[in-house]
Structure 1
């Protein structure tokens, strides 16, 4: 796989997993009573934190796996199953309980640090994103591909920042139903990615037995 193809694969994988348009619905509900300035400040801080979390696991993920003696292919299978669970909820236009529950959203409405929890973690950089980042880094063939993955992470969260800052305008343009359609579409792609991760991981595990 050449550099451009690998970048497209890495970016699309991360973008589908993070699914910023799907997260916008929750973001709008949590920031509906805020001014534009307050909402944008929450967007800036949450995206930066989510990006730093993803970047941390991109570089420390393999070290953590070695510490717990976990194989990357085992994480592929586990991450694929987790992502399929999220994808199933997305295809049914539901907020995935693997990301955040309705109860957690209600409890967060009265908190001042919603940019930390639940927006940055686990909405944007939850278990699915962390698993995807570690698996991508584990499959990188060299330093050049690892840099490509970092670039894909940067681009993914840069787009997230734009979407969050213009969340209210996006909501007005495409509407709630439009967001649900996009969520279902992203859920379908995420399900396909999950199946690919599980099948690749399982096949590699069998080969190494």
Structure 2
């Protein structure tokens, strides 16, 4: 896989898993009584928090694999299944079970600062987003050369940064955006994102299974 192909997969996967329209709705609910300037500051801190969380898990992914003795192939399969289930819920327009519960959202409404928790974490950089960046990190081709691996790692960081920047602009324009799209438009966009995510997740699972086939062949022979 070339670096361009890697970014072409990484960017949509990260952007979709960040769930921009759901995040926009949550942002409006949590900042309804704030001024425009305050909303921009909250959106900025939330996005910075999400970027730091994603970058941390992207960079520390290999270390986590080594500590828990997890093979990259196994994580590709498990992560792909998790991403597929999230994409499937988007297709069905069901609320994600890994997001905040109603009780947690109610508690968040009474907080004076909601930028870091719950907006930055877990609404933006939740378990699904963390799993996605770790799976993408596992897809980096270090075997070909260090240069290709480094370029793809830079591509992953770029994809995270670009996704977060777009999310920031969606958040600060969330009221206008939701007024334009209405409920039907948001539903259509969410389903499209769900379809994209399920396709990418399926490819991750296929890659993981393909890498494990030689080991299964050795066991059976």
What TM-score does the superposition give when structure 1 sets the normalisation length?
A: 0.92
Q: Are 1:170 and 2:177 an aligned pair?
A: yes
| 2:81 equivalent in structure 1 | 81
Q: Which of the two has higher C-alpha Rg?
A: 2
Q: Are 1:144 and 2:142 an aligned pair?
A: no
Aligned residue for 1:29, secondary structure, equals helix
C-alpha distance in structure 2 between counterparts of 1:113 and 1:79, whole Å:
32
Q: Which runs of 5+ in 1 are unaligned?
A: none
Q: Are 1:11 and 2:19 an aligned pair?
A: no
| 1:134 equivalent in structure 2 | 134
The one of 205, 216, 219 aligned to 1:198: 205
Aligned residue for 1:93, secondary structure, equals coil
Q: Are 1:65 and 2:81 an aligned pair?
A: no
C-alpha distance in structure 2 between counterparts of 1:62 and 1:41, whole Å:
33
C-alpha distance in structure 2 between counterparts of 1:182 and 1:22, whole Å:
11
Tell me if the contact between 1:49 and 1:116 (Cα under 8 Å) persists in the aligned partners: yes
What TM-score does the superposition give when structure 2 sets the normalisation length?
A: 0.87
C-alpha distance in structure 2 between counterparts of 1:38 and 1:49, whole Å:
17
Aligned residue for 2:99, secondary structure, equals coil
**Runs of 4+ with >3 A deviation:** none
Q: Name which of structure 1's ranges 59-68 and 112-121 shifts more when overlaid on structure 2.
A: 112-121
Shift of 1:170: 0.9
| 1:100 equivalent in structure 2 | 100
Shift of 1:118: 2.0
Shift of 1:85: 2.2
Q: Name which of structure 1's ranges 71-80 and 143-152 shifts more when overlaid on structure 2.
A: 71-80
Shift of 1:100: 2.4
C-alpha distance in structure 2 between counterparts of 1:85 and 1:106, whole Å:
26
C-alpha distance in structure 1 between counterparts of 2:211 and 2:6, whole Å:
20
The one of 130, 136, 155 aligned to 2:162: 155
Q: Are 1:186 and 2:200 an aligned pair?
A: no
Aligned residue for 1:208, secondary structure, equals helix
How has the CA–CA distance of structure 1 residues 81 and 12 changed in structure 2, closer, same or farther, with 3 Å as cutoff? same
How has the CA–CA distance of structure 1 residues 196 and 103 changed in structure 2, closer, same or farther, with 3 Å as cutoff? farther
Shift of 1:163: 0.8
Aligned residue for 2:60, secondary structure, equals helix
Q: Which runs of 5+ in 2 are unaligned?
A: 142-148, 217-221
C-alpha distance in structure 2 between counterparts of 1:23 and 1:82, whole Å:
20
Q: Are 1:33 and 2:45 an aligned pair?
A: no
C-alpha distance in structure 2 between counterparts of 1:44 and 1:103, whole Å:
25
